[in-house]
Amino acid sequence: MSISYQSTRGGEKNLSASMAILKGLADNGGLFMPDAIPELDVPVEKLADMSYQEVAYEVMKLFLTDFTEEELKYCITHAYDSKFDTEEIAPLVKADGAYYLELFHGSTIAFKDMALSILPYLMTTSAKKNHVENEIVILTATSGDTGKAAMAGFADVPGTRIIVFYPKGGVSRIQELQMVTQKGGNTAVVAIHGNFDDAQTGVKKIFGDREFGKKLDEKGFQLSSANSINIGRLVPQVVYYVYAYVKLVKNGEIKNGESINITVPTGNFGNILAAYFAKQMGIPVKTLICASNDNKVLYDFFRTGVYDRNREFILTSSPSMDILISSNLERLIYLSAGCDARKNQSLMAKLSEEGAYEVTDAMREEMGDFIGGYADEKANAEGIKELYDQTGYVIDTHTGVASRVYRDYVKETGDHTPTVIASTASPFKFAHSVMEAIFGDQSGKDEFAIIDELSRVANVPVPAAVEEIRHAQIRHKRECDAETMENMVAEILEL
């Protein structure tokens, strides 16, 4: 079955997967969605005997129907290789009754590696398929992890450049060092004076500026995105939820056909949306638990049906979730409105103009698979410490939010359905906050001394991704205001 893509806001439709990946964002600001979510065509018991790479092919071939078998397998083989420090790619660790799906074994120790390791291959293959001669400029806003993972993927990839914007003071020191020390002649990193939402809004404005697009085209450039708004990011994320389920069956933890719950620490909504796609493909998922930190806009949305970003933006120890505009939620809104692009467009216009919108009761019913929960800074820290004290297992601050929300959910509901918790980053990426949660005040201590101590108490070696920045040279020092991001892109590209 051939799958085509259309904008969630109407207009563009019947695009091939490769063209949707190349464009990243629709001309009218909409996100590309498949015209149907395909069902898995290989039984669970057969998938259970496959490697991660083989499962990836069986899932992704159903969405990327204009890729040949040879093209897709080439992308998968080159993405999921020795850059991951475990053979399993995404191992499951059982701790305190839940299954932690470790998605941080790639080259930048965060779950973004799972999709951003393959996106450069999907992108360059898509460019060849569509006879693109322009240089592709990847333009990305990051709340901490996407930026580094995207740069690591695209560094020195012929025919591409990548420009990353991140909020100055809004990411962990390790996240910042990972970005500003990035090598590659085609990479640029800019700290903006503002928060992640400002960076994300600025990037979307640049994409929507037709005049700037023409200027880029004249100079031989075209924009694309590595954010989770790109369908080429979302599809690879579906894979690890399918993989987690079939491995639980293979390991005898659950019976084939038995339902699981999935808990995801959520910011931009892409990671939990991928779990929803896995359910739509046929994986038996009972409840999708959407875990928020103090920026609990999604928790409030699932509780009330009102999405309202008009609130204080709070900087937390889980910065990748410090988001008030969850871009990928638009895809769920579109689906819950029966794929009515006009209805979706009107809600997104309200969000842009008034900062809020309300969905109908019928749409809320369509989203009944989701439940929201949140953990504030205190609850998150207590949860990280409790898990360590009981099991010796150390998790990062984002996984901490999910873990605490899951425990609260079980207490409130008595639902003991086997649960997969998406473990989205290595604790070493947020060592200061993790060690403070477990052992108290760490102020005045050197960041790398804290990392070495974490290695000792967790009985885990310091990851290569952290070791390589210990003495790395700072290469990127650009800063700008959110309002001048387009000028900065023009300067970097020497327009």
Give me the DSSP letters along 136-172.
Answer: EEEEEE-SSSHHHHHHHHHTT-TTEEEEEEEETTSS-
**pLDDT for 436-476, tens place per residue?**
999 999 988 999 999 999 999 999 999 999 999 998 999 99
C-alpha dihedral sign at 242, 324, 139, 82? negative
Q: Which of 234, 179, 312, 283 is nearest to 31 (CA)?
A: 234
Q: Is 51 helix (H, G, I), strand (E, B) or coil?
A: coil
What is the per-residue pLDDT for 144?
80
Query: Does position 96 have pLDDT exceeding 90, yes or no?
Result: yes
**pLDDT for 262-291, tens place per residue?**
999 999 999 999 999 999 999 999 999 999
Q: Is 189 helix (H, G, I), strand (E, B) or coil?
A: strand
What is the per-residue pLDDT for 246?
98
C-alpha distances in angstroms, 329 versus 30, 136, 261, 358?
Answer: 12, 26, 19, 13
Dist CA 406 CA 374 (whole Å): 9
What is the per-residue pLDDT for 108?
92
Q: Which of 352, 302, 297, 305 is nearest to 326 (CA)?
A: 297
Query: Does position 220 have pLDDT exceeding 90, yes or no?
Result: yes
Radius of gyration of the CA atoms of the chain, in A: 21
Specify whether the CB–CB gap between 122 and 21 falls below 8 A: yes
What is the per-residue pLDDT for 228?
82
**What are the helix and strand counts (H, E) for the chain?**
22, 15
Dist CA 194 CA 196 (whole Å): 7
- Mean pLDDT (whole number) for 148-171: 93
Specify whether the CB–CB gap between 24 and 30 falls below 8 A: no
Max mean pLDDT among 17-31, 225-239, 398-412 falls in 398-412
Query: Does position 1 have pLDDT exceeding 90, yes or no?
Result: no
**pLDDT for 372-405, tens place per residue?**
999 999 999 999 999 999 999 999 999 999 999 9
Query: Does position 145 have pLDDT exceeding 90, yes or no?
Result: no
Specify whether the CB–CB gap between 307 and 350 falls below 8 A: no
Dist CA 420 CA 82 (whole Å): 25
Kindly indicate the confidence band of residue 236, based on its pLDDT and cuts at 50, 70 and 90.
very high
The residue behind tokens 């103009």 is 353
Task: Out of 62-76, 138-152, 230-244, 264-278, pick the least confident.
Answer: 138-152
Find the helix packing angle between 447-458 and 431-439, rounded to 10°: 60
What mean pLDDT is reported for the chain?
Answer: 95
Query: Does position 146 have pLDDT exceeding 90, yes or no?
Result: no
The residue behind tokens 């990327």 is 64
In the chain, % of residues over pLDDT 90: 93
| Complete DSSP assignment for 92-122 | EEEETTEEEEE---STTSBTHHHHHTTHHHH
> What one-letter code names the amino acid at 165?
F
